[in-house]
Structure 1
Amino acid sequence: MTDKANILDPLKIIKKSSEFAMNFISIFYILLICAFSVSADYGCSYFGSNNAECNGNCQKLFECNWGRCEGTFHQYCACKNKDNSEC
């Protein structure tokens, strides 16, 4: 076989494709596990935000008036005073 024929060998292409797919899936699962293991910011996280928990933590831990999840994905707990200033 010539070098060109080796490059276009369907079995090699399928093998390389499946190796790529398995590597991609492995990396995806690792990233997913890491994302879920990241601790939530006082009730707010990328995968689910709880404004009530954020509010309670702001009042109890930081003696603020209120709090809510903010950010593009509501991943940060922002604590505020009565006048809406940062606490």
Structure 2
Amino acid sequence: PDQYRRLIAYVEKSFQRDATGQFNWLPGHSYADHDAFYEANSRYSILNTCNTWTNRGLKECGQKASFWTPFDKGILYQYGR
């Protein structure tokens, strides 16, 4: 339970909120009709990819993680694919 709460807190801190405390949804930005994009507190770059964000989240909640992983291989290695 504590690891889960720490992971949820990490994810929630990643997103910007509006004046009412809701996450800033980006309408019109999605891959399909079953997903959504939200405004983040950081910027995507070659040094800050979705994989590095995921890896930091795993570290935050005490799970196995890589030192640094711009690609998925470092994370997948930790979990035996």
For the aligned pair, the TM-score class normalised by the smaller chain equals under 0.3
Q: Which has the higher contact order (CA 8 A, sep 6+)?
A: 2
- What is the TM-score normalised by the length of structure 1? 0.25
User: Higher strand fraction: Structure 1 or Structure 2?
Assistant: 1
Considering only CA atoms, is the larger Rg found in Structure 1 or Structure 2?
1
